[in-house]
A and B are shown apart, each in its own frame.
Chain A
């Protein structure tokens, strides 16, 4: 019987010929990513062990991105604990390079790898054909010390894409559509595997955006087969030579799926997820006109150069609405420098946006840009949970880079054809 991409990667990591959904296997991890959300806790738990050791320090990547630059003495203390430990142990450590998942995709993730990240959006790595999954810091600690962990082989939902997204519709709209369709736990414990002719028409930024958000349907991981688009991304980052061809997997034609969903991309519309659930979606037009106080373009979901190009093209020559804060946050130093050289950041600045350093920003809800009581944010961030971006009585709408930028211009929710 054939295997899905998720099954093939787990089989490789478990040293088995074949595995099937429902099996539990001990696997060797290829990379272990941790950020400043919980690394200080991992350090505490590590130091409390009787015989602490790191199985393979070369597999560890630690990234400060959630509260950067730090906003309080308490945060400074947790960063210092993380930084000192990373330096002492020789762990690869980034601070100021960007949002963890973007940094990982640019510098470390390779097809076929099995990666644990102490962050739920680790599933983004599927855009490069890697099995990334989020874990808590105790699972992370166990993997860090032993080099291994146990995984339940997930069932897979296959999503076949055909056609092309219409003008003014983006990958972000597609994944919100899918999450709305299957619900916030529609893929719980499962993998989501994307394929079909339509996938070829979605650029790398869009693919990362899609895979990244699959955890909002409960997915354990998201996966896409590696094609010319993914290879070009690795080449652009000078890493095409690192690809291990025997680890480049596609699903077998007779693989078993829990569910198959077919989507004609030409039918997708601009979508908004309303407060306070990511699956609470509607046509963007249905909420057009709702007043906003802040707009956010950035995050591991939509802070890439392609997203900034979309936003800049819409806002060029226009202004941010009075009394609206428009935060623009490139996802990495690489993206920031590219946007700088293309003049995009100047465009945003001239329009009255606030351009900030690469970090998680208001998507994390504790660093910068938090919103107050009764305020409304439209965001390309990952979540719109109650209180996620600040006060518990505030409201977050999620949308594409285009819809967010158009809304910043109008001061109310709007799609790009409305500005």
Chain B
């Protein structure tokens, strides 16, 4: 089973898609042009600090609000390996899977990391099994096989191309 380690950025509850990708930058032609403005209403400096392989750990209802797909696209483009949250808003959940961004629900990790003031610390994720932080293991549920297929392919369109023998 895939496992990886990554540095953590902590976000709160109800991180909406206007925060993830503010409206005024949606008109930019490419996701790369939008990258510097990700999360800017809340943390303008954050996009510049996120490095490839980092992980976001958040509270409840991550990705609520607008259906704009630029939100998960920009999170992935910043190099975020996965988002772990207490819960995800449903449109964001589908959009993230469709763009090959791994999402993991866990009820306890966020509170533990906030309590330990652990932003910047490294956690280990073993997909479909658990998360390890500070010597403790947090179990996670398995994703259905069809969603894993889409994520591993890099998104819905790529998965369909693979399935149809195009790529």
Provide 12 A-B residue pairs closer than 8 Å at the C-beta atoms, listed in order of the A residue. A74-B28, A120-B66, A135-B95, A136-B67, A136-B94, A136-B95, A139-B98, A142-B156, A365-B23, A366-B26, A383-B65, A386-B41
Asked if B27 and A365 make an inter-chain contact with CB atoms under 8 angstroms apart, the answer reads no
Q: Given contacts A139-B94, A139-B95, A277-B14, are A45 and B157 in contact (CB under 8 A)?
A: yes
Nearest CB in chain B: distance from A212 CB, A:
14
B64's partner among A72, A218, A388 (CB-CB below 8 A) is A218
B46: interface (CB < 8 Å): no
Q: Which chain A residue has the least Cβ–Cβ distance from B161?
A: A50
Digitize A123-142: 1 where CB-to-B-CB distance is under 8 Å, 0 elsewhere: 00000000000111111011
> Interface stretch among B2-10, B83-91, B115-123?
B83-91
B60's partner among A67, A138, A185 (CB-CB below 8 A) is A185
With a CB–CB cut-off of 8 A, which chain B residues contact A74?
Answer: 27-29
Complex: A164 Cα to B16 Cα, angstroms: 34
Asked if B41 and A137 make an inter-chain contact with CB atoms under 8 angstroms apart, the answer reads no
With a CB–CB cut-off of 8 A, which chain A residues contact B1?
Answer: none
Digitize A341-370: 1 where CB-to-B-CB distance is under 8 Å, 0 elsewhere: 000000000000000000000001110001
B67's partner among A120, A218, A370 (CB-CB below 8 A) is A120
A48's partner among B24, B60, B64, B157 (CB-CB below 8 A) is B157
Asked if B23 and A188 make an inter-chain contact with CB atoms under 8 angstroms apart, the answer reads no
Asked if A365 and B14 make an inter-chain contact with CB atoms under 8 angstroms apart, the answer reads no
Asked if B69 and A136 make an inter-chain contact with CB atoms under 8 angstroms apart, the answer reads yes
B18: interface (CB < 8 Å): yes
With a CB–CB cut-off of 8 A, which chain B residues contact A387?
Answer: 18-19, 22, 40-41
Give the size of the chain B interface in residues (CB under 8 angstroms): 40
B146-167 contacts to A, CB under 8 A, are: 155-157, 160-161, 164, 166
Complex: A77 Cα to B19 Cα, angstroms: 25
Complex: A41 Cα to B67 Cα, angstroms: 13
Digitize A32-46: 1 where CB-to-B-CB distance is under 8 Å, 0 elsewhere: 000001100100010
Interface of A: prevailing SS: loop
Q: Which chain A residue has the least Cβ–Cβ distance from B28?
A: A74
B91's partner among A37, A50, A75, A135 (CB-CB below 8 A) is A135
With a CB–CB cut-off of 8 A, which chain A residues contact B67?
Answer: 38, 118-120, 134-136
With a CB–CB cut-off of 8 A, which chain B residues contact A137?
Answer: 69
The total of Cβ contacts below 8 Å across the A-B interface reads: 114
Complex: A105 Cα to B1 Cα, angstroms: 48
With a CB–CB cut-off of 8 A, which chain B residues contact A370?
Answer: 24
Asked if A37 and B95 make an inter-chain contact with CB atoms under 8 angstroms apart, the answer reads no
Asked if B19 and A385 make an inter-chain contact with CB atoms under 8 angstroms apart, the answer reads yes
Apart from A136-B72, A386-B42, what are 13 other A-B pairs with CB-CB below 8 Å?
A: A45-B157, A74-B29, A78-B27, A135-B95, A138-B95, A184-B64, A185-B61, A366-B26, A385-B18, A385-B19, A388-B23, A392-B41, A392-B42
With a CB–CB cut-off of 8 A, which chain A residues contact B90?
Answer: 188-189, 218, 220
With a CB–CB cut-off of 8 A, which chain A residues contact B29?
Answer: 74, 77
Asked if A185 and B89 make an inter-chain contact with CB atoms under 8 angstroms apart, the answer reads yes
With a CB–CB cut-off of 8 A, which chain A residues contact B68?
Answer: 37-38, 136
Complex: A119 Cα to B66 Cα, angstroms: 7
Interface centre among A77, A120, A370 (most CB of B within 10 A): A120
Asked if A366 and B65 make an inter-chain contact with CB atoms under 8 angstroms apart, the answer reads no
Complex: A77 Cα to B27 Cα, angstroms: 9
B98's partner among A37, A119, A138, A184 (CB-CB below 8 A) is A138
Give the size of the chain A interface in residues (CB under 8 angstroms): 41
Digitize A72-100: 1 where CB-to-B-CB distance is under 8 Å, 0 elsewhere: 10110110000000000000000000000
Asked if A138 and B69 make an inter-chain contact with CB atoms under 8 angstroms apart, the answer reads yes
Nearest CB in chain B: distance from A399 CB, A:
19
Nearest CB in chain A: distance from B37 CB, A:
10
A1: interface (CB < 8 Å): no
A385-403 contacts to B, CB under 8 A, are: 385-388, 392
With a CB–CB cut-off of 8 A, which chain A residues contact B94?
Answer: 135-136, 139
Digitize B70-99: 1 where CB-to-A-CB distance is under 8 Å, 0 elsewhere: 101000000000000001011100110011
Asked if A392 and B28 make an inter-chain contact with CB atoms under 8 angstroms apart, the answer reads no
Asked if B23 and A364 make an inter-chain contact with CB atoms under 8 angstroms apart, the answer reads yes
Asked if B27 and A366 make an inter-chain contact with CB atoms under 8 angstroms apart, the answer reads yes
Asked if A138 and B89 make an inter-chain contact with CB atoms under 8 angstroms apart, the answer reads no
Complex: A316 Cα to B63 Cα, angstroms: 41
Q: Which chain A residue has the least Cβ–Cβ distance from B155?
A: A138
B44: interface (CB < 8 Å): yes
With a CB–CB cut-off of 8 A, which chain B residues contact A50?
Answer: 161, 164, 166
With a CB–CB cut-off of 8 A, which chain A residues contact B14?
Answer: 184-185, 277
B36-64 contacts to A, CB under 8 A, are: 40-42, 44, 60-61, 64
With a CB–CB cut-off of 8 A, which chain B residues contact A72?
Answer: 27
B118-143 contacts to A, CB under 8 A, are: none
Asked if B161 and A385 make an inter-chain contact with CB atoms under 8 angstroms apart, the answer reads no
Nearest CB in chain A: distance from B56 CB, A:
17
